[in-house]
Amino acid sequence: MTPTIGAVISGVDLNAVKSPAVYDEIRSALWDNKVIFFRKQPLTPQAHLALGRSFGEMERHEFFPHVEGHPEIQTIANTGRKSPDTDRWHADCTFREKPNAVSILRAVEIPPDGGDTLWACMNTAYEALDEPMKKMLLELDAEHDISYAFRRMGYTGEARQLDAGNPPYIHPAVINHPVTGKLCLFVNSIWTKRFTNLVDRYGENLLKLLNEWIMKPDFHVRFRWEQDSIAIWDNMATQHYAVFDYAGHTRRMHRVTCEPTKVRLDARPEASRPAPIERFGEAPMMMMDVRLPSPQEPMQANGAGAQAQRGPGMLDEARMQRLSDTERRAVKAVFDAISSLDLNDIARRSANV
């Protein structure tokens, strides 16, 4: 669709795929084009799931409701009363240790006008930077944090409960694509909180600069949906933006997300790791028990291992319920304050005393 990104594929009925070779061809078109589109594909749930499975393991999503009887098919619906918060550039779920490699969206009900989606190529966005900038970015790690994102978006209540089960993760700021190996910029304006190895003062500005850089139309493709259009995007090589210009109309999509993938940067194989805050996620309710790691304890504890050892979280719902409102607010405030600390930095400084 542009020299950089996007292709429309025709000549296939996705409800009647007879041979795995068809899925092979679709996969290779996706790696080449970063986002691919199909028209007039009234996918059955079975066909949607089969398409997803051809990319790997299917996810279940914690925020979106699902289609009855099909826990892996998420419903993303908007009644047109307020922005769905997807009208910001982002890749999906980069706050996870293993973000999904692929998302597959089908338009079920579209507004008469508007509601387009744009995608941006993160390989092109990286390669178009100047050499010194590219070099520096290869050295940087960034923290991705659902709680940071939801706090900024003003979410409360149930949505905020997701924080407890989703500790932030540090990913390299640039990754090798898991299939093609191409370098892709891997920070975005929803989930990325900060660079962990830059001073905040200019780290914040660099993040802003990159979030603006990827808005350059040269990296983009814009898709006009029709009912039963399908988009499959490479979530490691793109960001997307769902335009909210259909106030007063309903827009309803079905989505599957597939193949949770540990991101990597070959130049620094150790780069992708849980954020230091993971340790606070493990801490028991009593603040006094929070223990600073000694310098002998490396912070790069394996995410899965840390998960398995984790006791009740600080925001454990049952225990929170036993507190008064004032106490609950206080615990949350302390938890938020602790979340903003840089444990690595504290450990480093205390080791020098």
Ligand X SMILES: O=C(O)CCC(=O)C(=O)O
Residues that bind Fe ion (CB under 5 A): 92
Among 4, 54, 86, 229, binds ligand X (CB under 6 A): 86
What Cα–Cα distance (Å) separates residue 206 from each residue in 92, 134, 136, 183? 21, 12, 11, 19
Q: Is 33 in the site for ligand X (CB under 6 A)?
A: no
| Local structure of residue 40 (DSSP, 8 states) | S
Residue (90 or 273) nearer to Fe ion, CB: 90
Residue 135: CB atoms within 10 Å: 10
- Residue 253 sits in the site that holds ligand X (CB under 6 A): yes
Q: Which two tokens stand for residue 174?
A: 């640039």
- Name the token pair of 43: 């996918």
Kindly tell me the sign of the dihedral angle through the C-alpha atoms of 249, 255, 261, 266: negative
| Binding footprint of ligand X, residue count (CB under 6 A) | 10
In eight-state DSSP terms, residue 292 is: P
Is residue 176 a contact residue for ligand X (CB under 6 A)?
A: no
Measure Cα distances from 179 to 34, 175, 211, 220, 234 in Å: 12, 11, 24, 21, 10
* Residue 198 binding partner per list Fe ion, ligand X, none, with a CB distance cut-off of 5 to 8 Å that depends on partner kind: none
Which one of Fe ion, ligand X, none interacts with residue 118, CB within 5 to 8 A by kind?
none
Does residue 143 bind ligand X (CB under 6 A)? no
Which residue lies nearer to ligand X by CB, 37 or 148?
37
Interface of this chain with ligand X, residues 57 to 76, rule: CB under 6 A: 76
Tell which positions 254-273 bind ligand X, by CB under 6 A.
Answer: 255
Minimum separation from the CB atom of position 105 to ligand X (A) = 5
Q: Is 42 helix (H, G, I), strand (E, B) or coil?
A: coil
CA 276 to chain centre: 19
Q: Tell the smallest beta-carbon distance from residue 352 to ligand X (Å).
A: 44
Find the angle CA(191)-CA(275)-CA(154) to the nearest 5 degrees: 35
117 binds ligand X (CB under 6 A): yes
User: Considering only residues 61, 193, 240, 264, which one is a binding residue for ligand X as defined by CB under 6 A?
Assistant: 240
With CB under 5 to 8 Å by kind, the binding choice for 182 among Fe ion, ligand X, none is: none
Is 229 near ligand X (CB under 6 A)?
A: no
d(CA 35, CA 30): 6
Using only C-alpha atoms, the chain has a radius of gyration, in whole angstroms, of 21
49 binds, among Fe ion, ligand X, none (CB under 5 to 8 A by kind): none
Give the active site residues: 90, 92, 240, 255
Site residues for ligand X per CB under 6 A = 76, 86, 92, 103, 105, 117, 240, 242, 253, 255
